[in-house]
Structure 1
């Protein structure tokens, strides 16, 4: 399987923060969700991938090309949506479309107008009259109108109402179903990623704590609510993290199907991304 993104030992050092030796590979035709607290390094990683900030690395390839050696070729096949668009507020969507037709060789004006209509965006009104959600919708209309092979989104669904956010998730899944289309989305809305992610990367304080397929996370991890006596009898190798609550313990375990065979009367329910993230960020290790 071809890799859409290859990162080896990507490091970015600031005075008070370090994105520390990030390494993973992402297959083409998949959706990667990057999760992490505010300030964990998600945006730093994306900015380094895009060459917006300098960083050190052993290897950095996007769509099979070295990012430093072929930036212009890569940009033609790349769409990026940030939380803040950055277009001149006096421009209209039609003016932006005309400008971008000279930027992207695959720009499809008919498709762009179709998305503007689909998203109920007035083509001739200035951006300064748009709400935050409308500006985000415009970003998606732009992204889908020049046939990108790789879509990168940094907190791009912030400010969208639940109905339109769900429509965007459907669009992303549809987009990624074509074999050469790949999506990377950094978001703190983990429920969105539960719906569409094929892979999940969790960055915490600048370090990559895990990179796994979503199916592996769902099949491997489980949560047990129990008393201290039960926790003490668990094999530490099966316990990822535990959290003490008022009257019980919540335990994130791996090998949940094997444990279910051993503890047949114990409920072990699956863990969503928010629960896993909280265990990794605030949980304790069983000694």
Structure 2
């Protein structure tokens, strides 16, 4: 088994609104998958569907090779989860939370929990409901990293953090993957974070996956070309990813610049530019 998560053709609608359309991608062992897209694109719905918090209309989700993780308590203990809104008891302090988690998780690592709490400069005697959003995110990540999970699902976990704190948190995530050969599915609007630590990139728009690629291959092979209508017809359909229309030309994202026809000038594209391009693109 080479993947921690295998998502295949999952679909989901709320009433008449289709929010996921045949979503397919994997989270391999030893990887950090950057899951990017605008608000409302389907990222949080994908997270909740993967965790079995909401039902899916079709498709399959396997975690550690199993389809229905709610049947397996031990499997759930191997997953660390951080959502955009904190889901920890607000009336407790960090000291009290530590006692709760010692009873809740067989593999609770108190030493690592307090190491992270100290590294993130969190007050251990202050009630959690007095924490800022950034402090709450740091605490949630500290918990997720302290019960020997093999898989982390992090939905906007770096939101609300100052640049220095984000740097510390990203370093902890990279260390987790390198030491455990675990995996992370990380959604973020901060492209510099994704660029820094992701090994794979998955972009979702309107519930559809537009891009699913290893980051190194993206930088090596992908490019943007500015072409007119006639040149667009000459483009190999196999390398076409998405396009943006301007007054007199198209900007086209291609997956292999080596297969471009002669005379088409390829332009490199950054992660930030990719996010904007795909958000505003058409098929």
TM-score, length-scaled by structure 1: 0.87
Q: Secondary structure at the match of 2:103?
A: coil
CA distances 1:123-146 after superposition (whole Å, capped 9, x unpaired): 111113211111111112111111
Counterpart CA distance in 2 for 1:245 and 1:169 is: 37
* Cα-Cα RMSD: 2.4
Aligned counterparts of 2:259 and 2:11: Cα–Cα separation in 1: 38
Q: Aligned ranges for residues 46-57 of structure 1 at < 5 Å?
A: 46-57=47-58
1:210-234 CA-partner distances (Å, limit 9, x unpaired)? 321112221221134x5x66x7446
- 2:144 and 2:274 map into 1 onto residues whose CA distance is 31
Residue of structure 2 in register with 1:214 after alignment: 215
Contact 2:69 2:76 (8 Å CA) reproduced: no
Alignment coverage as a number of residue pairs:
279
The 3-state SS of whatever aligns with 1:101 is helix
Check whether the contact 2:86–2:136 (CA below 8 A) recurs between aligned residues. Answer: yes
User: 1:6 matched to which residue of 2?
Assistant: 6
CA contact (8 A) 2:37 2:279 kept: no
The residue number in structure 2 matching 1:116 is 117
Residues 94 and 210 (structure 1), Cα distance of their counterparts in 2 relative to 1, 3 Å cut: same
The offset of 1:73, in angstroms, is: 1.8
What are the superposed Cα offsets for residues 23-72 of structure 1, whole Å, 9 maximum, x if unpaired?
22321111111111111111001001111111134432112223346431
Give the direction of change, closer, same or farther, for the CA distance of 1:66–1:273 in structure 2 (3 Å limit): same
Give, in whole Å, the separation in 1 of the partners of 2:2 and 2:98: 32
Partners in 2 of 1:257 and 1:174 — Cα distance?
35
> Residues 12 and 19 of structure 1 are in contact (CA less than 8 Å); yes or no, is this contact kept in structure 2?
yes
Unaligned runs of 5+ in 2: none
Deviations 1:177-205 (A, max 9, x none): 23531000111222211111111111111
Output the CA distance in 2 between the equivalents of 1:66 and 1:283. 34
Counterpart in the other structure of 1:275: 273
Q: Say which is worse superposed, 102-111 or 234-243, in terms of deviation.
A: 234-243
TM-score, structure 2 as length reference: 0.88
Other-structure match for 1:71? 72
For structure 1, list consecutive stretches of 5 or more residues without a partner in the other structure: none
Q: Distance in 1 between matches of 2:180 and 2:135?
A: 30
In 1, the alpha carbon distance for the partners of 2:117 and 2:220 equals: 40
